[in-house]
Amino acid sequence: MSKVAVVTGGSKGIGLATVSRLIDDGYIVYNLDISHSEVGHFIDCDVSNVDAVANVIANLGQQHQSIDVVVSNAGRHLSANIENTSEQMLDELFSLNVKGAFSLIKHALPFMKQNGGAIVLVASDQALIGKRNSFAYNLSKAALASMARTTALDYAEYNIRANAVCPGTIETPLYHAAIDSYCEKSGANKAEVHAEEEALQPLNRLGQATEVADYIGFLVSDKATFITGSLQVIDGGYTAQ
């Protein structure tokens, strides 16, 4: 019998690559997103709406009687320091990046307790280090890292593992949108900015979504049954500098 996996934000970037990887690994994969995708079982769901997430998870849990894997990936970036971050901007970012993960995990756990399972939160290298002009985003990713640790401790007795992956600079639509926004505001040349970003990495390139997805696939597999409560860095050596 196929295991059930739920991925949020699975229509683009790391989320899409993760959905594809889990399908290849034999899971029945549900993708909660507002952007349609033909990959996996798409469910139109605004992850920033806590009640909407709760309803979707309840329906899936009742349909399958269990949920085996949860990957909280939905999120967005915000370029701003603390002075340029309004309360509304902070609330909107946290509703998606943090409350979305909160609702997903909270409501999936009752369907994971019987058979155990694995939770992965897609955090960031910014859960470990600070970066300029990234106040709210940095804060939200640190919150996800904390969520992974506390959930791991609280639910270890049910053989439920929780970890966070902390990607560095990964070439995704989110990355390109952030670069485009920066270039629009500053007048910088995108090709030059992209080359500068690559040069900042010890491996002299950006990471790819499939590399992060492969890491997630490992963390939820039976090869990682003694890994829980950890922050797994996949950043090409950036935070080692």
pLDDT tens figures, 21-32 = 999 999 999 999
Residue 81 lies in a domain: yes
Q: Tell me the two tokens of residue 52.
A: 């909407």
Residue 85 has a CB neighbour count (10 Å cut-off) of: 17
Residue 66 lies in a domain: yes
Residue 240 lies in a domain: no
Residues with catalytic function = 137
Q: Counting every residue, how long is the chain?
A: 241
The pTM of the full predicted model, rounded to 2 decimals, is 0.96
Report the number of distinct structural domains present in the chain.
1
Give just the sign of the alpha carbon dihedral 114, 117, 123, 127: positive
Range of the domain at 61: 4-168+208-234
pLDDT at 150: 98
Q: Tell me the two tokens of residue 211.
A: 């590399």
How many whole angstroms separate alpha carbon 118 and alpha carbon 224?
A: 10
Q: Tell me the two tokens of residue 240.
A: 């080692």
Name the stretches of the chain with pLDDT < 50.
Answer: none
Residue 65's CATH number: 3.40.50.720
Which of 180, 179, 170, 101 has its CA nearest to residue 141?
101
Residue 192 lies in a domain: no
Residue 67 lies in a domain: yes
pLDDT digit string, tens, across residues 170-210: 999 989 988 998 899 899 999 999 999 999 999 999 999 99
